Amino acid sequence: MMKTQGGLLSFNNFLSTSLDREVSLTFARKTMETSDLTGILFVMKIDPSIPSTPFANVCDVSYFQQEEEILFAMHSIFRIGSMKQIDGNNQLWQVDLTLTSDNDPDLHALTEQTRKDTYPHLEGWDRLGMLLIKLGQFSKAQEVYHILLDQAMTDREKAHIYHMLGMVKDGQGEYKDAIAYYAKSIAIAETILSPTDTNLAASYSAIGVAYEHMGDYSNTLSSHQKALEIHQKTLPANHPDVATSYNNIGSVYEHMGDYSNALSSHQKALEIRQKTLPFNHPDVATSYNNIGIVYNKMGDYSNALSSHRKALEIRQNTLPSNHPDLARSYNNIGIVYNKMGDYSNALTSHQKALEIRQKTLPSNHPDVANSYNNIGSVYNKMDDYSNALSSHQNALEIWQKTLPSNHPDLATSYAHIGLLHDKMGDYSKALLFLEKTLTIRQKALPPTHPAIKRVIDNIDCIKKKM
């Protein structure tokens, strides 16, 4: 919360407050009984002329009348003001809040953009399903779209629903199923739509993302270039969908080790988004996040950390606390801290990411494996080889169940386990795992990719030790 001062805070349930400061402090102080919790006293400034947020004095009907309770409606939104410790205690803080109105400029801009992003031309269940996907509630969205698929009457409706089910499966980490749904959608769309229809571009972009998750970068790049070609022919140069194509192409170049083109593509996407979207829009955060990833790969850790912090700040202000994109920010910040040698902050960041992912994703989701993998890398740097090996084995177990046998993430997992065995003096196991890594990387990556040279050097080094 310290990083979100001046931002917006929403309470997603009925909010019980008190006119008596000491009553509220009693509840806040209870957290001091546990060393890893922090008590917060929210002091709220309320303009009674604001009609948009209902609240009521329920003292006369409350069982505890001495608490002088004021009850606020669900989803009340406040502007975060100053923060200070209470009595110099680091476990007890006061945070000042001001109730916002409907004409709050930041809230209004974000609300309007969210309305645009959630398909205002759609109705009922369809729009609900899209919103559930935006919120990361993929299982609930899947239920909605299966119902709609059973009710679909036209090819256009079926193409749209198959596309949405592809998005659901992609979010759940079931990438083969995602590609299958997208392919069904595209097969129908290509027969009923113009070759330059933007709906077709959206399907090319979506299947490209799924191919990327599968490590199939050739099909990924081809799909995203098809989408960009349609967008450039049919949309203004600064349209958000053009930015999405640049963003997606940048991610492919990053995976292929072409960091110069990756950075250029992501910067084009960010430039468009900054011109056309609210400053706190999640897509702006995505651009900062992806630019941070490229800077990290280029060894520019200062710019990487700065970019990831910008992404995290936006996401903390606009997304639910358990949203997968927040986990991505914590994950990426942890990677940079690890590279900078700040292992304590790296481990904390990765554990935050893992906690969110374990709560919101299936237990065998590749992103859960990614968190285990990164935690293992930090333990490795801390010379805690036992915990490192355990974490990497957890990651490998998930990836072996969910990814193709030649996926780059499997290669990374084999490499980490191999290098750990090297450090632990078990050179035969180290060589076995690193040779698996080399086999995958030589099939999946360009021959000049730096990751191939690294693993060859590691293998040569181990052979000399044997």
Q: Are the C-beta atoms of residues 230 and 201 closer than 8 Å to each other? A: yes
On whether the CB atoms of residues 189 and 203 are closer than 8 A, the answer is: yes
Domain membership of residue 335 (yes or no) is no
Give the C-alpha distances (Å, rounded to integers) separating 378 from 346, 349, 392, 419. Answer: 7, 11, 11, 13
The domain total for the chain is: 1
Whether 35 is covered by a domain: the verdict is yes
Place of tokens 């129908």: 188
CATH label of the domain that carries residue 25: 3.90.176.10
What are 413's two structure tokens? 């997992």
Q: Find the range with the poorest average confidence among 129-138, 155-164, 426-435.
A: 129-138
AA identity, residue 386: S
Asked if the model's pLDDT at residue 53 lies above 90, the reply is no
Both tokens of residue 52? 């948009």
Strand order in the sheet with 15-18: 15-18, 69-72, 55-57
pLDDT at 62 over 60: no
Nearby residues of 438 by Cβ (< 8 Å), 6 or more positions away: 452, 455, 456, 459
- Helix ranges, 319-447 (H): 324-340, 343-360, 366-381, 385-402, 408-423, 427-444
Helix (H) or strand (E) holding 293: helix 282-297
Higher pLDDT, 419 or 29: 419
- Greater model confidence, 108 or 166: 166
Q: Which domain holds residue 35?
A: 2-102
pLDDT, mean of residues 427-448: 91
Q: Which residues pair with 351 in a beta bridge?
A: none
Mean pLDDT, to the nearest integer, of 160-168?
A: 96
Report pLDDT for 144: 94
What average pLDDT does the segment 323-340 reach? 96
Instruction: Report if residue 121 sits inside a domain.
Output: no
Q: 416 in helix, strand or coil?
A: helix
Is residue 30 a part of any domain in this protein?
yes
Q: Confidence band (pLDDT; 50, 70, 90) for 102?
A: low
Q: What's the pLDDT band for 119 if we cut at 50, 70, 90?
A: low
Average pLDDT over residues 281-291: 96
User: Considering the domain boundaries, does residue 86 fall inside one?
Assistant: yes
Kindly provide the residue ranges of all beta strands, DSSP E only, lying in 60-136, ordered along the sequence.
69-72, 77-86, 89-99
Residue (of 422, 415, 402) closest to 441 by Cα position: 415
Q: How confident is the model at residue 1 (pLDDT cuts 50, 70, 90)?
A: low
Q: What is the mean pLDDT of the chain?
A: 89
Mean per-residue pLDDT, 132-153 = 91
How many angstroms separate the most distant Cα atoms in the chain? 82
> Within a domain: residue 22?
yes
**What is the phi-psi region of residue 239: left when phi exceeds 0, alpha when psi lies from -120 to 50, beta otherwise?**
beta
Residue 466 identity (one-letter amino acid): M
The residue-averaged pLDDT of 8-37 equals 78
Does residue 28 fall inside a structural domain?
yes
Q: Is the pLDDT of residue 248 over 80?
A: yes
Written as one string, the DSSP assignment of 306-342 is HHHHHHHHHHHHHS-TT-HHHHHHHHHHHHHHHHHT-
SS3 398: helix
Residue 65 banded pLDDT, cuts 50, 70, 90: low
In a domain, 329, yes or no: no
Q: Look at residues 313, 294, 312, 315 and name the one whose alpha carbon lies nearest to residue 303.
A: 294
Please check the confidence at residue 168 and state whether its pLDDT lies above 80. Answer: yes
